[in-house]
A and B are shown apart, each in its own frame.
Chain A
């Protein structure tokens, strides 16, 4: 399913999801319903341990729920095999972690280009892959002098912006961000969000932003509390 969605069409639909990590008795996620539209910016609030990382792992297709249906871009992720989910993630998703996003021994530009290696679709949509990477880096306010440096030679703020550029190369339909600003100070945090929003707008990507920081919530079109939609979160204390 590689159709580009029109704005406001349903991008992601999760129903009756129940998920527990292998070896855990209690489910860490019990979600009746969650949906997102194309191009939407959704802020999902949840403290550590509330299952937010598990949810991202589910949407990213890295794990399967024990129960429920998760469909994204018309594709039922619960019904397809592991390799197909990996392909789906490569083709349609961008990911930003809280920190350590980049391969430290690889130069900045090669880091940005990484998703295009695993997805032909992303590479095609990016066009000239190196040029697209450079454009994105420039938009993220990273000067050309940094592009050939080793990734571990950049500051944390710079690294996060590189991660954002990487998540957005090839215009993926959905960007998953797991606490991307938690390691940044407040100035850098606001700059980062500005740049991220602008670029998401530019490529038409939806953004699922998970964080415990309430202050950021107002900048988003829509907010949700994970504990509101997740009926499992209260019992478990296991890390997710």
Chain B
């Protein structure tokens, strides 16, 4: 029976109180790890969602807002971009490609995006990955719709499925476009980005949907049916679009073009660089993140103090134990070491359990986050920085253990053969 063995047996004897201590530490560590990992995973998820797009152009609005509603389907657009501006931009020599997108409709809570075929060609995510069609093809007929991976999966739809889109982006709509049903022509491969949560129709189809609508309400008798719409398909050019994704022929032109768009006198527009807009988003969320980190840190401190309390209160009961050990030849340093070993063991157990808890919570929350924010949380091994932080917390646990250890050390020196009360 070695000293660590003695410590283990002794802890086992007090296992109820000890389990509670370990649980307290575990919960606090779990919170800390969760805050850290979710923070970096959400950021990573956002960075993954847009790649290869040099500029995003929309009605004049804050850059973060433009990015959020155009790429992430979060928030509402304030205004639109005129079709004239779109064509003018597309014609510029420094613009290699331009993809317009129109928002405004939904299907069972999922956003419907009106766009052109160029979207499937030019949109990139993660490390310049292009979109892939898993099944079927892009839109061909006017009323074809391409589903993002999660939409198809959650609703259990396959190719050929018919759907009726609703007007407005609320979860439930009171108006629907039932005169113009759509058919699923393709399903996209999963991307782990908001693309998975959206449905894609052609811009002309989006325009057809709103023919005869005025101020968000259909005028009776003014909406065409499917065949009528197809007949006039080539005349279905929208007046405006919500936003435009741009790719440039040469990257160096991006600042000049952005400046010109922002100062365009004919229309109030904004052009944003996605990378910059994201960092501005982090600046806003950064404050909340810092507060969360501080809170998590304080909770860990509370957990360690809880361990200190337990160790100190049992110290008195264990004076007899220590006198016995001393009488049998234990040195005061060995007794102190026993207590520090116990603290280290408890802290380590708490940290490992906390890591497990955080991983579990992330695994459970991942699906919810995916459907709400469109961001894929990949539950990962803790980063090097996180291990360092956990290591320092463990050392703090040892230092906490040093407090009762020091008390015990001095007491055993003061006690004789019998415990002096």
Knowing A97-B417, A117-B2, A117-B3 touch, does A86 contact B331 (C-beta < 8 A)? Answer: yes
Asked whether A90 lies within 8 Å of B328 as measured between CB atoms, the reply is yes
What residue of chain B has the Cβ atom nearest to residue A58's Cβ? B416
Asked whether B331 lies within 8 Å of A83 as measured between CB atoms, the reply is yes
Q: How far is the CA of A113 from the CA of B2 in the complex (A)?
A: 11
Q: How far is the CA of A119 from the CA of B417 in the complex (A)?
A: 18
Asked whether any CB of chain A lies closer than 8 Å to the CB of B326, the reply is yes
Q: How far is the CA of A118 from the CA of B6 in the complex (A)?
A: 12
Asked whether B417 lies within 8 Å of A56 as measured between CB atoms, the reply is yes
Asked whether any CB of chain B lies closer than 8 Å to the CB of A183, the reply is no
Asked whether any CB of chain A lies closer than 8 Å to the CB of B12, the reply is yes
Knowing A113-B1, A117-B3 touch, does A97 contact B416 (C-beta < 8 A)? Answer: no
Q: Mark B408-420, 1 if CB is under 8 A from A, else 0.
A: 0000011111101
Q: How far is the CA of A103 from the CA of B324 in the complex (A)?
A: 7
Write the nearest CB–CB distance from B7 to chain A, whole angstroms: 12
B321 surroundings in chain A (CB, below 8 A): 103
Asked whether A60 lies within 8 Å of B328 as measured between CB atoms, the reply is no
Q: Which of A25-66 contact B (CB under 8 A)?
A: 53-54, 56-57, 60, 62-63
Write the nearest CB–CB distance from B65 to chain A, whole angstroms: 64
Q: Which of B271-324 contact A (CB under 8 A)?
A: 320-321, 324
Asked whether B329 lies within 8 Å of A63 as measured between CB atoms, the reply is no
Asked whether any CB of chain A lies closer than 8 Å to the CB of B87, the reply is no
Q: Which of B329-364 contact A (CB under 8 A)?
A: 329-334
Q: Mark B1-39, 1 if CB is under 8 A from A, else 0.
A: 111001001101100000000000000000000000000
Secondary structure of the B contact surface, majority rule: helix
Write the nearest CB–CB distance from B392 to chain A, whole angstroms: 32
Asked whether any CB of chain B lies closer than 8 Å to the CB of A95, the reply is yes
What residue of chain B has the Cβ atom nearest to residue A110's Cβ? B1
Asked whether A63 lies within 8 Å of B328 as measured between CB atoms, the reply is no
Asked whether any CB of chain B lies closer than 8 Å to the CB of A217, the reply is no
Asked whether any CB of chain A lies closer than 8 Å to the CB of B172, the reply is no
Write the nearest CB–CB distance from B135 to chain A, whole angstroms: 65
Chain A: residues with Cβ within 8 Å of the partner, total of: 37
Write the nearest CB–CB distance from A54 to chain B, whole angstroms: 6
B10, B324, B331, B416: the one within 8 Å of A63 (CB):
B416
Q: Mark A215-240, 1 if CB is under 8 A from B, else 0.
A: 00000000000000000000000011
Asked whether B414 lies within 8 Å of A22 as measured between CB atoms, the reply is yes
Asked whether B329 lies within 8 Å of A87 as measured between CB atoms, the reply is yes
Asked whether A86 lies within 8 Å of B418 as measured between CB atoms, the reply is no
Asked whether any CB of chain B lies closer than 8 Å to the CB of A106, the reply is yes
Q: How far is the CA of A132 from the CA of B77 in the complex (A)?
A: 86
Asked whether B328 lies within 8 Å of A118 as measured between CB atoms, the reply is yes
Write the nearest CB–CB distance from A11 to chain B, whole angstroms: 18
Asked whether any CB of chain A lies closer than 8 Å to the CB of B96, the reply is no
A87 surroundings in chain B (CB, below 8 A): 329, 331
Asked whether any CB of chain B lies closer than 8 Å to the CB of A102, the reply is yes
Asked whether any CB of chain A lies closer than 8 Å to the CB of B327, the reply is yes
Asked whether A90 lies within 8 Å of B329 as measured between CB atoms, the reply is yes
Write the nearest CB–CB distance from A24 to chain B, whole angstroms: 11
Asked whether B330 lies within 8 Å of A118 as measured between CB atoms, the reply is yes
Write the nearest CB–CB distance from B321 to chain A, whole angstroms: 6
Q: How far is the CA of A118 from the CA of B12 in the complex (A)?
A: 22
Asked whether B420 lies within 8 Å of A239 as measured between CB atoms, the reply is yes
Asked whether A86 lies within 8 Å of B329 as measured between CB atoms, the reply is yes
Write the nearest CB–CB distance from A210 to chain B, whole angstroms: 10
Asked whether A97 lies within 8 Å of B1 as measured between CB atoms, the reply is no
Q: Mark A76-100, 1 if CB is under 8 A from B, else 0.
A: 0000001100110111000101001
A104 surroundings in chain B (CB, below 8 A): 13
What residue of chain B has the Cβ atom nearest to residue A102's Cβ? B324
Asked whether B330 lies within 8 Å of A97 as measured between CB atoms, the reply is no
Asked whether A62 lies within 8 Å of B326 as measured between CB atoms, the reply is yes
Q: How far is the CA of A39 from the CA of B324 in the complex (A)?
A: 25
B1, B416, B418: the one within 8 Å of A117 (CB):
B1
Q: Mark A149-175, 1 if CB is under 8 A from B, else 0.
A: 000000000000000001000000000
Write the residues of chain B forming the contact surface with A, with a CB cutoff of 8 angstroms.
1-3, 6, 9-10, 12-13, 320-321, 324-334, 413-418, 420-421
> Could you show 22 A-B contacts with beta carbons less than 8 Å apart?
A21-B416, A21-B420, A22-B414, A54-B416, A57-B416, A60-B327, A62-B416, A83-B331, A89-B329, A90-B330, A97-B324, A97-B417, A100-B324, A101-B324, A103-B321, A105-B10, A106-B9, A110-B9, A114-B328, A117-B3, A118-B328, A166-B328
Closest 9 CB pairs of A and B: A90-B329, A57-B416, A118-B329, A105-B13, A95-B327, A86-B331, A57-B417, A56-B417, A115-B328
Known: A57-B417, A60-B417, A90-B329. 13 other contacts (CB 8 A): A56-B417, A62-B417, A82-B331, A86-B326, A86-B329, A89-B327, A90-B328, A97-B418, A102-B324, A103-B10, A114-B325, A114-B328, A118-B334
